Structure 1
Amino acid sequence: MGQPTGEFRQEAVRTRGGELVSGGLLVTVGTPDGSEVRPCPEEWRPQPRRIGRSEPARGPVGGPGRAVGPLALGAGPADLPLLDREADVAQLLGLLAEGRSIRLVGQAGSGRSALLSAVAEAAGDLAPGGVVQLCGHHRTAADLLQDLFAATHHAPGFRPDPGQLAAHLARVGAVVVIDEVEPTGAELEQLLAAAPDCAFLISAAPDSPLLPADSRLQDHPVAGLSRAACLALAARLAGRPLDAAEKAWAVDLWFESEGLPLRFVQAAALLRQRDVAVDALVAAEEDRLDVFGAVRAPVHDPDPAVREGELRGRVPLPSVAETASPAVRLAEGLSEPAQAVLRLAVALGGECPTAPHLPALIDVGQGESALHELADAGLAVSIGGHHRLTAGALELLAPQWPARGCTDGAAQHFAWWVGHSSVSLEQIAAEAEVVIGVLLADRTAGRHASVVRLARAAAPALALALRWGAWERVLDLGLEAARATGSKADEAWFHHELGVFAVCVQEPGRATAELETALTLRAAVGEPRGAAAARRMLDLLRAEGRQLPSGGPAAPAPPRRPVIRAIAQVPWRFKTTPGTAGRTRRTAIAASAAVLAIGVLGTAVALTVAGPEEHRGNDPHSSSDDGTGVPAGRPSPRPSLSPAAGAASPESPGESPTADETEPEPSASTSGPSHSPSASKKPSKSPTAGETATPQPSTPGQPAQPPVVPPVQTPVQPGPPSVTHGPAPSPSSSPTTPSTSPSASSSPPGTPTPTGSASPSASPTTSP
């Protein structure tokens, strides 16, 4: 991250300015008189380009993965393989392959984020659009939709309106993984409906409300780990095998915590702190031996490992109460830089700034190591490009770790940072929660003037970074601080910016009220240019018979689909339950078969719901009296959406697949009448018992079958037909095979042409 250096003087603070397109509006941000909106010229409107495929991110969702801390084996919790979650991963992959959307529910610290990352990494081949990983921490539904659009389309500086967004996301077929989703209820359902061809895998807060009965989501509980997995996790993070006393202590913790992985990450940190105390005892004993010699040294086993085990028994293990709430004890065992970062995070409401900010804020040079030390201790987790405290740590540490002035000057630093030219908009978006934390800390401390300065500097930058949820939050906090300071000019500026925000999100009533207030205040304080800017915005809103232009009509919410199209067409790689593979692809196969048949015949061909012994007649050269493709004297077939059954599967001799398990023949449907050279050299072969190449025709005594669309042929006696592979004779040639022998020329009506064989038009018919 670009982190410029220099003095933080008020005159060095600059306001970031620029332009962006919101729907059909051109928004100019960061002007001295406030932002302005005008209709965007047609030639300036962006043309989003679809990104072909999104690759899953490595590591935890939404942030850097590998944790490098002071562990004996040099690995942190994020480096460990996922323990005891194989069944969960397989089940979630199967549901996603069927197009289902899942919400992970479980207690705080149950490992939902780690499970999301594992599924996201394994689901790369499920959908044509790949895997899209988003961070839901402090994001609104509109922010998440914008993030999904930005991850699947190349359109920098463009925020589509709802109509445009629905049109662009309707063509996206991907697995969308979102960690810590905050929207609930109708807002969450609208988020899912905006991308109907995507399968969502999200995790929500433990206290999230129940899903409605018609929700597209289904809950998947995430329970704790087994006892063996918890013991293995503690030993791996402790860097050594556990002794008998530690195993008994870990089993008690497993019963108390119900196997939550976070508790054992913290328990391993407590064991490492205990090892530090044991190492101190060993070092003290060696010092006494060097000073006094062997005369006064205690007699002990010469093996150092045995002696270390004896000394470890002198250091008591943490009690059950300490392991139930270990945050305070873990914080006391951290290094000084890590404690300083922890104190700053507590002061900012649990948000940790990234490492380049730490030297300017708390004079910590090794900020990256301090953040990783917090993560290794189970006190912080990486999400959304920065770190935040884990669940419950802020409530436990806030009374014990007061701010002590660690946020003094933070607002001035970030006001200078967001306006610096070396800082990118992506970096500002990643620090949005930290900036809001600084504003809240200064508001609590009563530094309202600092809040106003930071809010006026950060609001344009967040608007250009398209973090509009944070943009609105910063404007609200700045307006509150401006009222507290009594500055009417600042208050008018924030009202004006809130009016522009309301115009961009298509809330004309709110926009009119905010802009009228801004106009009144600016006229009162004598700001003619600012008043003119507010008046221009009001004229745009109040123009008679004129509405704000948009990129397209506001489309209604797409209907909820139980199975998405794009992912249902991808065959599932893992083993499935017998009889379910056909049902998962029924809709896609039927639709593709119908479209291909229409393209070949040039007319609408009706499909029938057929059993194992019913087949389609798709001869494009069969005659018809009425021009509908139905032979004379036969009733019209019954329309259906299911393709006809095909040949029996070679894996199951003697059984014919159902209509749901049959896939269309692409070579016979797309290329039309053609001859395969390789197929023409194959000799004729009659099927034997148990190897039925084509199903049997109906025999007397069986129920009447629904009418089909066959070629004009004379039925023959019931018997096992054969498939002939050979060159197709012309229609005028006579068959060399006697009419009494079964052959391809005397196939029963509706027998499909095998792939690679001659087309139905080349099959001669027998004379009646």
Structure 2
Amino acid sequence: MDGPVVVGDYALVVDARYGSTVRMVTERERPAPIRREAIRLLPRRRPVPLGRSAEVAALCRAVGDGGLIQVYGPPGIGTSTLIRHVASETEGAGVVYLDARYRETDDLAQEIFEACYETGGYVPSAAELRRLMAGVAVTVYLDNADLTRDQIIALADSAPDATLVFTGHQRVLLGDDGFALEVGGLDRTTGMELLARELGTLPPSEEATAVALCDVAEGRPLPLLRAAALARAAEDADIRLPRPGHVAELIPLVLGRLDEPATNALHLLATFGAAVDASDVRGLTGRADAAELCDRLVRLGLATAEEGGYRCLPDVFPLIVQLRPAPFPADQIWHYYATWLNRPGTTPDQVAVRSRVLERAVELTLSAGRPDAAVRLARAAEPLLARSRRLDAWARMLGLGYKAAEAAGDEGAKAYFLHEEGVRSLLRGRRVVAAMLIGAAFQLWRVLGNEHGTAAAQHVAPFLPSPSTPPPVAPGATPDSLAGQNSLAGHNAPAGHNPPAGHDPVAAHHSMTAHSSLAGHGSSAMPGAAPSPASHMASLAPGPPPPAPVPTLPSLPAGAAATNASAAGAMPHTAAGVATHGSAAAGTAVSGAAGGLASTVVGAGLAAKTAALVGLVVALVIGAAVVNVASQVITRQGGPSEPTGLAGNWSTGQGPVTVVATGSDSYLIKSRCDGDLNITGSGGSYHAQVPVHDRRCTGSVLGTATLTIVVTPDGSTANVTATSQVPSFECFICGRWTRMPSN
């Protein structure tokens, strides 16, 4: 749509060249939304979840009762499959299914509103939205909604008569907030049924292996799906499942079966870390069969098909990094999306669906040393995001654009992004922040002698708190002489006037935010409490994305495609050195603090030193959906020893670990963070519930992890895995442990 977008009491006139403007709308001009007769926004169908009849029944009863409902469980346990199935089967007044990944509550509320109404390009105010949604008894399913309790309740308040069902990894509903349903692992019988369904038939000769695989998988469907995929991909006519001790090596074994086109497609998905539309995969890879390639990756358990496209699964990422150390070419990404955004047929709604992918495209272009190209890409995307009525996604792109403009030294682009964020803040009712940003943009426009920019800022001025009027700008004035002025008066610097080198008018404007003229205009901000324009813009950019590939990781050995599933440890891999490259911490590396379930983000130069620390380490990557369980295979140290259960000294990738027997089926590991960590089990299978920390064990406990240790029959090695409901959880000591000889 090319006309104005009505947001609350304002009509937004998007101007991608000189800066957007607003005007007040009358009641006659305000769109009159019309409720849809049929509200059916359903997910794509997936196979019926096996072994979930009790959970399906419980969820259906809860939906019938209405209110807030959370379905939660560790990653890969099947929460998405469960609510997709129930959403597809739900009958009644209306059903809306949305993927909430990377989306804020205001944008989600707008999407729910648009699913229920023909809106005419209208974004109602919070109060008007509640009025319009009152009486709309729709059932809304929000998948991947790792939101806080307050965010969920605020979203529910925007649709007071809706039933809201959402998934997450951690329980957030408390007491009388609503109904919470925990999803646990599949039992052995269901696991066997899942394997049989995926294989078509389960030969009697493989039943014992299937039973063992189900036990090792601990009820998680994904390892079983990968095991079945590996068996299907084998060249032998007879179905042969991988051995239970090789579950930790399933991903590299499956990767070894991929041909070059499929590997290239997976590399692209991993580079973005978000759902990529099949048409974009086709355009970026040049493969006409891109959709078929991505569907194959889904069947192999390497990717997932979502409403927005295809996404690489988190625990696949470190392995594809080893195969392709360099990111997908940034210039190719930039050129493709710049061309796509400028096509006449590209719609705001298409851009909104791709908002996270476009953010990554800007970040990748910036990281590749092309800030000028990143600025152009952000400027091409943000007007369409503004017209899409997704004001939160618009804000993130503005933050990234400003960051790119700073890197490029493009003062005009900085002024433009400041102006646009000022307009967006005004639309959101943040008039003091809007005045600060529009004032900063105006100062830059004046210094640059841009009459169109100053005119756009002056057009917005009547809707802002009125600052005091400074004296006119004399010819030859400098930014220093303007630093104390916060006016949108029509006085421009002479054309061609440039600021002195090294001066930042935006930073200088920080001193202007404390003016008493900004107080008392309906904002909670006190005079002087507002951040600088630059820091405000920095806060808009999205958090660290999934880490870009790191070239220092070792490659998979040559001939990996010929690796047999029975060759234990034939594909060594490590994810301990995966670094995060994001908008907030470019070039940092993830490393655990020794002696407990702790984590921190440290400088890249410290990664090698930290990797040598001794102890039990589980790392959490702050703000980045990276890897659920990262594993590593280490070199055997010393000769074999007599099996002694779990007790003894073990060599791990982080150093030695000593396990002490405290009873017939109980063991203990010393942890610096938490003291004694208790492990129980027998017969080669051991488990522990352990805390997950942050900030080198100094912060609060973020959650718990389930540690599973499976010792081989000869007692010489052990496979270690861990799962957690903590987002972006990563385990550094998971994988192969080797028993060290007794002294």
**TM-score when normalising by structure 1:** 0.59
* Residue 179 of structure 2 is aligned to residue 255 of structure 1: no
Report the AA paired with residue 356 of structure 1: S
Report the AA paired with residue 21 of structure 2: E
Distance 1:49 1:142 in 2: 20
* Residue 58 of structure 2 is aligned to residue 91 of structure 1: yes
Change in 2 beyond 3 A, CA 1:468/1:327: farther
Q: Unaligned regions of 5+ residues in structure 1, if any?
A: 1-15, 66-77, 279-307, 550-768
How many residue pairs align between the two structures? 472
Q: Which residue of 2 aligns with 1:719?
A: none
Distance 2:173 2:222 in 1: 26
Q: Which residue of 1 aligns with 2:259?
A: 335
Tell whether the 8 Å contact from 2:227 to 2:242 is kept in structure 1 after alignment. Answer: no
Change in 2 beyond 3 A, CA 1:491/1:225: same
Q: Unaligned regions of 5+ residues in structure 2, if any?
A: 468-516, 523-743
Q: Which runs of 4+ in 1 moved over 6 A?
A: 544-549
Change in 2 beyond 3 A, CA 1:421/1:530: same
3-state SS of paired residue (1:173): coil
| Structure 1 residue 52: Cα displacement | 2.7
Segment of structure 1 superposing worse, 171-180 or 377-386: 377-386
Out of 195, 198, 211, the position equivalent to 2:173 is 211
3-state SS of paired residue (1:334): coil
Report the AA paired with residue 318 of structure 1: P
Within-5 A mapping of 1:12-91: 18-55=3-40, 57=42, 61=43, 64-65=44-45, 78=46, 80-91=47-58
Q: Which residue of 2 aligns with 1:102?
A: 69
Q: Percent identity?
A: 30
3-state SS of paired residue (2:144): strand
Tell whether the 8 Å contact from 1:361 to 1:406 is kept in structure 2 after alignment. Answer: no
Distance 1:532 1:108 in 2: 52
Out of 233, 250, 258, the position equivalent to 1:273 is 233
Out of 198, 207, 215, the position equivalent to 1:237 is 198
Change in 2 beyond 3 A, CA 1:333/1:467: farther
Q: Which residue of 2 aligns with 1:145?
A: 109
Distance 1:231 1:212 in 2: 36
Report the AA paired with residue 70 of structure 2: R
| Structure 1 residue 232: Cα displacement | 1.8
Relative contact order higher in (CA < 8 Å, ≥ 6 apart) = 1
Change in 2 beyond 3 A, CA 1:405/1:203: closer
Within-5 A mapping of 1:325-724: 326-348=250-272, 350-542=273-465
3-state SS of paired residue (2:287): coil
Distance 2:521 2:97 in 1: 34
Tell whether the 8 Å contact from 1:170 to 1:196 is kept in structure 2 after alignment. Answer: yes
RMSD, aligned α-carbons? 2.4
Report the AA paired with residue 195 of structure 2: A
3-state SS of paired residue (2:28): helix
Distance 1:445 1:138 in 2: 23
* Residue 131 of structure 2 is aligned to residue 167 of structure 1: yes
Distance 2:88 2:41 in 1: 6
Distance 1:179 1:421 in 2: 32
Distance 2:355 2:348 in 1: 11
Change in 2 beyond 3 A, CA 1:239/1:446: farther
Tell whether the 8 Å contact from 1:109 to 1:261 is kept in structure 2 after alignment. Answer: yes
Distance 2:3 2:213 in 1: 55
3-state SS of paired residue (2:345): coil
Tell whether the 8 Å contact from 1:354 to 1:387 is kept in structure 2 after alignment. Answer: yes
Q: Which residue of 2 aligns with 1:223?
A: 184
Q: Which residue of 2 aligns with 1:673?
A: none
| Structure 1 residue 322: Cα displacement | 4.1
Change in 2 beyond 3 A, CA 1:391/1:405: closer
**TM-score when normalising by structure 2:** 0.60
3-state SS of paired residue (1:542): coil
Tell whether the 8 Å contact from 1:138 to 1:182 is kept in structure 2 after alignment. Answer: no
| Structure 1 residue 197: Cα displacement | 1.4
Distance 1:37 1:84 in 2: 55
| Structure 1 residue 530: Cα displacement | 0.4
| Structure 1 residue 450: Cα displacement | 1.7
Tell whether the 8 Å contact from 2:334 to 2:377 is kept in structure 1 after alignment. Answer: yes
Change in 2 beyond 3 A, CA 1:343/1:251: same
Change in 2 beyond 3 A, CA 1:352/1:134: closer
| Structure 1 residue 114: Cα displacement | 1.3
| Structure 1 residue 87: Cα displacement | 1.6
Encode CA deviations 1:514-566: one digit per residue, 9 max, x unaligned.
111111111111101101211221232135999999xxxxxxxxxxxxxxxxx
3-state SS of paired residue (1:151): helix
